[in-house]
Amino acid sequence: MPELPEVETVKNEIEPHIIGRTITGVTLLWAGEVRSPSPEEFVKRITGKKIKAINRYGKYLVSTLTGGEFLVIHLKMTGALIIGEGEAPKHTRVILHLDNGKNIYFRDPRKFGVMKLIKDPAEITDKLGPEPLEKDFTVAVFAARLKGRKAPIKAVLLDQKFLAGVGNMYADEALYEARIHPEKIAEKLSQPEVKRLHGAIIHVLRAGLASKGASIVNYMRPDGSSGTAHLFFKVAHAQQKSCGVCGGKVERIVVRGRGTYYCPSCQKK
């Protein structure tokens, strides 16, 4: 699933192509991608609107349109936004046609993605925790939010109300870097562990962003190319590979329903 580095990369790379452009039409190849309003009303209300800005909130992309509405896109598990002309890429579900002759193709093989129009970005932001790459995400803020959390730390990191944008891959990488077992109860992390994990979260997200995201399966950048962050992962999706620190084998367990990769020697329970 695209996480913060992937969605931020999409935002950064699609922005120059869409800001100031007018949406001249919409082709719905699969209307189920549009969640609200109705597909017919969606097409009617978005056609003719200019894109004034695009922002990322957690894993959401929110475009500011003229007329006071906002276009929300969530790539979910297999979504990608591709900029191009001509024939749509395979698995394209929605095409937004722009006034410069280019198109935004919403490619989504498994049809989990979401497009909708909203009146206020607070409908999204009010449901999200702090942005981990913002300056106000301090060790103190992180420690305070961990208090009273009785779930495994891996599950807590995946809770978007706790922290915005962190998903399965980068949670595994951060816990490995901090040498914390993914099943350790969140509120029981020691002060040194909290500090290490805080720094590790920021580090792995920045590294992922610098590598333009991780193309494990379906994620691609707006030009159709792949990110390279996955080439540098230490444990994520690395079952039975050797740990670069101890030489032991990376193992996979399930934590609250999510596949989790870790090194049993470096991340002792």
Bridge partners of 261, per DSSP, are: 252
Q: What is the DSSP letter of 217?
A: S
Catalytically annotated residues: 2-3, 59, 258
Residues 6+ apart with CB under 8 A from 123: none
Output the CA–CA distances (angstroms, integers) from residue 180 to 12, 57, 109, 155, in the order listed: 32, 27, 35, 13
User: Rounded to an integer, what distance in angstroms lies between the CA atom of residue 160 and that of residue 57?
Assistant: 11
Residues 6+ apart with CB under 8 A from 24: 47, 48, 97, 98, 99
Contact 251, 268 (CB under 8 A): no
In the sheet with 114-118, reading across from the earlier edge strand, the strands are: 34-36, 114-118, 70-74, 60-65, 51-57
Residues 183, 197: Cα–Cα separation, whole Å: 14
* Eight-class DSSP state of 116: E
Q: Please provide the distance, in angstroms rounded to a whole number, between the alpha carbons at the two ends of the chain.
A: 27
How far apart are the C-alpha atoms of 123 and 131, rounded to whole Å? 16
Q: Give the length of the chain.
A: 269
